[in-house]
Every structure is written in structure tokens, then in C-alpha cells.
Amino acid sequence: MKAGIHPAYRTVLFHDTAADVFFLIGSTVDTDRTHQHSDGNTYPYMALDVSSASHPIYTGQQRKTQVEGRIAGFNKRFASFGSSSRAAEA
């Protein structure tokens, strides 16, 4: 690998502000902010709006918007098509 062209890989403290949860993850994110973690060490700090701690899919709080599936809706909408022409043929 060429020297001097790769970003620095280091442990970064990510903070999910919606759930108020902290994650220590290895990253190359470029940040000037630092924050002291509960372990007593100071790490580069990055604030997040959404993470696995607050996203509805991961927390199980996702609301179901559709009552029935797409196929059932299609069949319900177009059930009358073709039935009148078949009745006329018989």
C-alpha cells in the first residue's frame, strides 16, 4: 500500500442522540470533536441521528401500513374484469 494516502483508522465514539446510546467502533471518519467515554478514555466523537438502537426496524416499533398484501389488493380491484365476458360466452 502507498504511504500517506489512506485515512487514519482509529476507535471512534459514535453517539445516537435519539436513543442516547454510545458505540465504540473502529472507523476512518474525519472528526475534530472529542468526548470522554465511561471507561475514562477520550475518543474522537461523532453524533448520529439514527442507529440500530433507535431505528424502528431494529427496535420492533415499525408500524404496519398495509392491511392486506399486494396480490390480495390486485385481486380485489380487478376481480370483476373478465367475469362479465365469460358469463356472456356461456
Q: Is the pLDDT of residue 9 over 60?
A: yes
| Claim: this prediction has a pTM higher than 0.85 | no
pLDDT at 83: 65
The H-or-E segment that residue 10 falls in is strand 10-16
For the stretch 26-80, pLDDT in tens is 999 999 999 999 999 999 999 998 888 887 666 666 555 556 677 877 888 888 8
Give the DSSP per-residue string, 12-49.
Answer: EEEEETTTTEEEEEEE------EEE-TTS-EEEEEEES
Measured between alpha carbons, how far is 33 from 43 in angstroms, rounded to an integer?
9
